[in-house]
Chains A and B, each alone.
Chain A
Amino acid sequence: MALTQVRPEGLGFVNGRRNLIINGAMQVAQRGTSETGVGGSSGYFTCDRWRIDTGNTAGRVTMSQVSITDLAEFATALKLDVTTADTSIASGEVFRVGQRIEGQNLQQLAKGTASAKSLTLSFYVKGNAAATYVAQIKDVDNTRVNTQNFSVTTSWTRVELTYAADTTGTLDNNNANSLEVMFWLHAGSDFTSGTFASNTWASETNANNYAGSNTSIFDSTNRELFITGVQLEVGTNASDFEHESFGETLQKCERYFRQSGAYTGAIPTGVGGFVSQQGMNQTSGQKALTKDWETAMRATPTMTIYDHSGTAGKWDAINTSGNWTNNLNYTGIADQNAGGFKVYVNSSTGYGYGLHYRADAEL
């Protein structure tokens, strides 16, 4: 009789939908593939779902989705390249990169109950030189955190960190931000003057978050950080990274951010993928152009409307000869919800209209 070796759950199996992180392989970058001068304000700049959280620092990075050829199984990574150093660190400075997760996607953690599960975070990381940073999981609903250090070298390293189960503080079952995975890369004394307790859940004390001998990514303009293959899963084992197709990842990302046109990683321009409607009555009166999505977004998105040249706050009109004119005003937007929107113009004699859009419902 043949013997079958049974491995512990989560070790080596590809059993699908384990990863709570979206776009962990940094495949999708709808907003653009590179942004300079990042560090002055928090937000989303390149790789979808990956948020920069910053405050009070003069340090700046170029944030990029980069192609890589030196890590098997992965073709893209997120790169932070320091362009402005900050070695005079004021107390309130902070710079982090991470991802926010909806509470309704986390109920299987049973957090805050006697059945609470451990979590394991794994990722591949590389730098220009040795460094030590902090990977934090934060329960936003109850302001509780668990932090652990990780090391960076000049070669790709897979970091595997298991976070203890937390029987305190349940996560809300809704579409709001409940849990953050945050890589701390720089902080002032407000966040460093306490005591670092590794892999211990506790109510957040700011001074403890980045305490200890951690590196500041802003200590030199030579600093670089590459990261990819980020996975957060239930259990105590770091299983193989759960690869998925570009289309699957893009669809997941579009719950939080989407735009018209073919996927290009930039503000949509031209008339390819234009949202347009023609053959309208040319007499005066209100004209409207509607767009519905096949799957709803997380929440009602913030809308930005562009004409075909990429100018925000404008749209195009088309005449009966089929010629588009850009840089025209529309009156407003209505029916704006998680499923679509309508842009309209009053008192117009137009024959048809067109626009590009970006819809942002990020956490």
Chain B
Amino acid sequence: MNYQNAQYSEFDYGGDIGVVTTSINVEKDGIIIHVPIDPANSDYAEIMRQVDAGTLTIEDAD
């Protein structure tokens, strides 16, 4: 799969929870998708495989 322009996304719940990294926003075959931080998700598993292989980097959240 062709993943490009990956960036972590955060959400500020405030209070005791604070800022949580919620997903990776990435273009998959040209379509913007939101991939959860979950090893059971096949997109996440493939993204991390590509990161480990050095073919994809994930930018920090804005």
Measured CB to CB, the residues of A under 8 A from B are: 41-43, 175-176, 298-305, 312-313, 332-337, 344, 360-363
Name the residue of chain A whose CB is nearest to the CB of B38. Answer: A300
Q: Which of A298, A304, A363 has the most CB of B within 10 A?
A: A304
The CA-CA distance from A337 to B38 in the complex, in Å, is 9
Category for how many chain B residues contact A: 20 to 34
CB contacts (< 8 Å) of A302 on chain B: these are 33-36, 41-44
Contact of B40 with A300 in the complex, beta carbons under 8 Å: yes
Which among A41, A42, A336, A363 is the interface contact of B22 at CB below 8 angstroms? A336
Least CB distance, A140 to chain B, in whole angstroms: 13
Contact of B9 with A332 in the complex, beta carbons under 8 Å: yes
Contact of B34 with A303 in the complex, beta carbons under 8 Å: yes
The CA-CA distance from A79 to B60 in the complex, in Å, is 43
Contact of A360 with B23 in the complex, beta carbons under 8 Å: no
Query: Which are the 8 A-B pairs with shortest beta-carbon distances?
Result: A313-B32, A299-B40, A334-B11, A300-B36, A300-B38, A303-B34, A333-B34, A302-B43
Name the residue of chain B whose CB is nearest to the CB of A174. Answer: B40
The CA-CA distance from A299 to B20 in the complex, in Å, is 19
Contact of B33 with A175 in the complex, beta carbons under 8 Å: no
* Given A43-B1, A344-B11, CB of A336 within 8 Å of CB of B34: yes
Contact of B11 with A363 in the complex, beta carbons under 8 Å: no
Which among A176, A299, A332 is the interface contact of B11 at CB below 8 angstroms? A332
* 23 residue pairs from A and B, CB less than 8 Å apart: A41-B29, A42-B1, A176-B40, A299-B38, A299-B40, A300-B40, A301-B41, A302-B35, A302-B41, A302-B43, A303-B34, A304-B34, A312-B31, A313-B31, A313-B32, A332-B23, A332-B25, A332-B34, A335-B22, A336-B34, A336-B36, A361-B41, A363-B42
Name the residue of chain A whose CB is nearest to the CB of B31. Answer: A312
The CA-CA distance from A53 to B30 in the complex, in Å, is 20
Least CB distance, A25 to chain B, in whole angstroms: 25
The CA-CA distance from A336 to B36 in the complex, in Å, is 7
Contact of A299 with B41 in the complex, beta carbons under 8 Å: yes
Least CB distance, A342 to chain B, in whole angstroms: 8
CB contacts (< 8 Å) of A312 on chain B: these are 31-33
CB contacts (< 8 Å) of A299 on chain B: these are 38, 40-41
The CA-CA distance from A176 to B31 in the complex, in Å, is 26
Q: Which of B31, B34, B36, B41 has the most CB of A within 10 A?
A: B34
Q: Write out, one digit per residue, whether chain B residues 14-27 have a CB within 8 A of any chain A CB (1) or not (0).
A: 00000010110100
The CA-CA distance from A362 to B33 in the complex, in Å, is 15
CB contacts (< 8 Å) of A332 on chain B: these are 9-11, 22-23, 25, 34
